[in-house]
Amino acid sequence: MTLDARLTELEAQLAPLPGVVVACSGGVDSGVLLAAAVRTLGAGRVVAATAVSPSLPAGERAAVDAFAASLGVRHEHPRTDELSRAGYRANAGDRCAFCKSELIDVLRPLADGLGIADVVTGTNADDLRAGFRPGIRAAAERGAWAPLARAGMTKDDVRAAARRWGLPLADKPAAACLASRIAYGVPVSAEGLARVEAAEGALRTALAAAGLPVRDLRVRDMGDDVARVEVDVTLLPELSGRPDVLAAVGGFDRVELDPSGFRSGSMNELLPDPVRYR
């Protein structure tokens, strides 16, 4: 299918809806879905909902607020409390299931109160083929659905649509919740989430000051006070020789540079195969 055909199918998925609540994280997927809903239904029938919790980076909230405002939609900021869920704090391989369960359990009453039947997420077709994604299953079990995936839109399609529509997030780097920085088996806490957020922010600032622009950056908490830094592969040769820059990562006893560079979902590589692909 061409991009035009997939966008037509996306419109067909959305057009029958009287109204919709879009779970909007600030990433390109949920942003394109929000824009598509506005283009199809009009801003008055679309509500953006961004969950606020310690796992949402402060910078992401500011960006999603500005984007939703540019589309003229109502924007709700319900608070979620995934840290109250023992399975989330335990941070086993199924952590995302507890996070998404909390999200939809909060968004569903919000939608009901607005008289809206449909809660949708930015899951795309590539996500469905990515193997181990317990959060997707948990959201679906609670009645949320994914128009992008149903329309067959891949990540490349989503970015192409964003460019076609002139959206400012067309080339935005991949973003994920702060808990994705914490290795499975290392308990998640508000303090731990704040530590990786601060470390990432400090390193990004240090890289800019050193004239080393970076696109994708993660500081991963590997446990035992060890931080693993992932950056663009092209930046590895220069950064490996700059311990002064890596020293910007505070709060950890030891900081390591990952020789493979940034990979989205790299923590899943540490899971046993039977868990990863179940």
Q: What is the per-residue pLDDT across 242-251, written as a single tens digit (0 to 9) for each?
A: 999 999 999 9
**pLDDT tens readout for residues 92-125:** 989 999 999 999 999 999 999 999 999 999 999 9
Task: Tell me yes or no: is domain 3-164 CATH 3.40.50.620.
Answer: yes
User: What is the Cα gyration radius of the chain?
Assistant: 19
Domain residue limits, the chain: 3-164, 178-270
Measured distance CA(74)–CA(95) in Å, rounded? 30
Distance of CA 72 to the CA centre of its chain: 22
Contacts of residue 263, Cβ cutoff 8 Å, sequence gap at least 6: 230, 269
Judged by average pLDDT, the poorest of 152-166, 190-204, 251-265 is 251-265
pTM of the model: 0.90
CATH code of 178-270, in short, is 3.30.300.10
Measured distance CA(236)–CA(54) in Å, rounded? 30
